[in-house]
Each structure stands twice: as structure tokens, then as C-alpha cells.
Amino acid sequence: PYHIDNGFVSDMAENNMKKMCDELECDCEIIRPNWLALKEIYRKLLLQNGEICIACEMMISLYPIETAIKLQIPYIVWGLTPNQINSKKICSGYKKIDYNYYRNIVDYYEKIIGACFSDDFKSEMIKRQLLINNSITKEDYFPTFVMPFYWTGYDATEVESIVTNNIDWVRPTDAGGTSSNCVINQLHIYLKKQIKGEEFYKKMIDKKYDNGEVTDEVMKYALDNSEDSNTIKESLGKLDIDMDLNTLAEHVKNAKKSIYLKMESNISQ
């Protein structure tokens, strides 16, 4: 198992991972990116775009590939649902990675980071701390992504039942909405509702439900419960953002966005 610690992992999620590794009798590879650099990019994405997931998408896209190359691991099992596979325009359950594919990801997120900072020096510093890996070359053996849910389909109720019954997995109550691991998700949901409206959020949850990506219980919880203000304030404090929630929402609505941030405005959907 491979885990990226973004600084906002739920305590309950940490316990779930430990239970899983104990059950499988395996180790867990944990990557902890440079926190100061990660905090800067989270701050900028949040204040300019009301987004949080872009930075995590970046790490999920890049770091497993780099680790697999380093450790000469030929396959990466990627838990994308069928809907996510289709949305990424992957036409089969396999995706062979090569140097150009890897570099395209790096180049894309370099542009995202560059769009966040008017200070070129700060931008380059963040890129080097989170992105640049000059040790990877065309001669390296690149892994293949394997997506088992392409063949088996995905039903959240069945999956949750299996992990609950076999490893005593517990759905975190501190993550909010449909997340099963990340407490900053509550801030993300709050801003989505404030900026795009409750109806937008309901449609997003309905779509996940129709695609079998959330259970009945999770859907009801996501739609009926408000986000925990204390958890949200703790997340903002960790990012050194000193604004009340209404002011933050108005700030994001009025923020001038670059073309790259506009392109990424719906990445988490």
C-alpha cells in the first residue's frame, strides 16, 4: 500500500490503514511532501480558486510513478471507479506509462503552480520542492497502471461491507461529505456550497450515487449534515488563513483566476 500524507489525514483514516496493513501483513509506503511548500500551494489554490483537491491530484498522479521507478515496481493498482476511468478517457483497465506521459503531467502542474504565484522565485522554489525530479530519464523502466474496477465494476455499498466485515474498517466522521480520509474536505465542501450553491452540491452527490460511488448512508449524511465549523477553522489555521468563512467565500468569488486555474475549477468532481 502507498499513502501520501498531505497533512490533513483523518485520525480514523490512519487507524483504518493500520488495520489494513495488519490484516494483509504488509508495510505501507508513506510519502510526506515538504510541508512548507505544500502549505503555500494549498493556500494559493484555496484563496484564488476555492479549490483544495488540485494539489492532491498532482501528488496522486506523480508520486506513485516516481516511487515505482525508484523501487522498480512494474505495476501500480489504481482504485479508479468506472466513471473516473471514463472521465480520464482511459479506454481499458491498463495504462502503460512512459517518459512523455510522465513529463506531460509534470509540465501541466508546473503551469498550475506558476499560475498561483506572481513571484517567479517563489514559484520555482515550490516547483522544485514538489515537482522536479531530474533523476528520471527516458531510459528508466516505467510502470503500468492497473485498474481492477474496470472489469469488476464498483459498488460502494459492497466495497464498504467487505472492508468493514474483514478488517473492522470504520468510516471517518471527521472528514465530512463523501471523503473517507481527509479532514480538509469539510472546508472544500463548504466553499463549493457557498460559491456554487447547495443545488450544485446535491447534483454532484446524486451523480456519485447514480454511479455507485457512495452508499445510501453516505449520501444521506452528505446532504443532511452541515460541515463542522471547528474542523474548518483548524484547517484554515494550519494554512495561516485568518478570515472568517463568509469573508473567505466572498474573497474566492471575486478572485481573479488565470486560465489554468479556471480549467481546473471542477477537478474534484
Whole-number Å distance between alpha carbons of 152 and 136: 34
Q: Would you tell me how many other CB atoms lie within 10 Å of the CB of residue 222?
A: 20
Whole-number Å distance between alpha carbons of 200 and 140: 44
Q: What is the pLDDT of residue 174?
A: 81
Tens of pLDDT along 176-202?
777 888 999 889 888 888 888 889 889
Q: How confident is the model at residue 157 (pLDDT cuts 50, 70, 90)?
A: very high
Tens of pLDDT along 26-48?
999 899 999 999 999 999 999 98
Question: With contact defined as beta carbons under 8 Å apart, do 13 and 172 qualify?
Answer: yes
Backbone angles phi, psi at 206, to 5 degrees: -60, -40
3-state secondary structure (DSSP) of residue 77: strand
Q: Of 236, 221, 226, 217, whose CA–CA distance to 193 is shortest? A: 226
